[in-house]
């Protein structure tokens, strides 16, 4: 498995649990899906976002952000506010949490504390979403798909979480927000992943929970699948993917034309 960036030492012991998804099927029915056709039968490479797609990490992220804010002498946020800041990498999360008046130096200090705190607590409450383990197992056992993770989360944290949840043997590669010069939605990472997965653009699909993931797919010329249970459903109303699922276990059937 390819990993870009420094490895995180001392990752926590392996565990994998599932929790109830927060989004309902009613939400997905209001989204316009632009494609659902035989193109899906060509898919051989699946590129997954991490937070909000494979893992429910929002509580550990929110607790770590509030610990950082307390350390910086800033007022804490309600968790729902922090959830809205997730998706563009750790620095953006810290900057948004500190507010518009924060200086670059304050963001730098806040980021350092956040990363240190999160490194210790990133698996306290983080679990797989329902259906994720089963879907990944099905994709793997079919021997039809090559799979990878592409997230804006720092790669060392991403790798440690994937290892801690016993998912490492499912993925050919794991790339994070510091793996390339530019983060998602820039297509740079997808171009590398297509080589890693030995796939053409027509054979690849990005699976994610936000408009960042859809825009990444569009910028890269590949298909996009959105999940309704993550953190970015509202943004996908303006940037609809090619297919939506309420549970990742629905995706194998969608790709088979079901």
Which residues participate in catalysis according to the annotation? 49
Q: Residue 80 carries which DSSP code?
A: H
Task: Determine the Cα angle at 207 with ends 82 and 133, to 5°.
Answer: 90
CA proximity to 166, closest of 194, 204, 132: 132
Q: Residue 36 carries which DSSP code?
A: -
Between CA 83 and CA 230 the distance in angstroms is: 10
Please, what is the end-to-end C-alpha distance for the chain in angstroms?
A: 31
Centre a 10 Å sphere on the Cβ of residue 42 and count the other Cβ atoms it contains. 14
Largest CA distance in the chain: 55
What is 116-169 written as a DSSP string? HHHHHHTTSS-EEPTTHHHHHHHHHHHTS-EEEEE-SS-HHHHHHHHHHTT-GG
């Amino acid at each position: 498995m390819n990993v870009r960036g420094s490895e995180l030492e001392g990752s926590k012991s392996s565990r994998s649990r599932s929790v109830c998804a927060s989004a309902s099927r009613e939400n997905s029915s209001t989204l316009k899906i632009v494609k659902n056709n035989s193109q899906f039968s060509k898919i051989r490479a699946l590129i997954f976002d991490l937070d909000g797609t494979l893992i429910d990490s929002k509580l550990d992220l929110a607790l770590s952000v509030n610990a950082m804010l307390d350390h910086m002498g800033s007022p804490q946020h309600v968790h729902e506010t922090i959830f809205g800041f997730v998706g563009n990498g750790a620095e953006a999360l810290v900057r948004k949490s500190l507010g518009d008046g924060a200086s670059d130096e304050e963001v730098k200090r806040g980021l350092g504390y956040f990363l240190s705190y999160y490194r210790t607590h990133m698996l306290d409450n983080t679990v797989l979403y329902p259906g994720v383990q089963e879907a990944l197992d099905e994709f793997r056992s079919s021997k039809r798909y090559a799979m990878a993770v592409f997230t804006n989360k720092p790669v060392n944290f991403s790798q440690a979480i994937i290892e801690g949840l016993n998912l490492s043997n499912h993925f050919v590669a794991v790339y994070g927000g510091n793996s390339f010069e530019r983060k998602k939605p820039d297509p740079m990472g997808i171009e590398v992943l297509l080589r890693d997965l030995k796939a053409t653009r027509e054979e690849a699909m990005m699976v994610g929970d936000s408009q960042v993931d859809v825009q990444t797919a569009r910028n890269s010329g590949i298909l996009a699948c959105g999940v309704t249970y993550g953190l970015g459903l509202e943004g996908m109303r303006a940037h609809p993917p090619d297919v939506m699922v309420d549970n990742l276990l629905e995706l194998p059937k969608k790709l088979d034309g079901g």
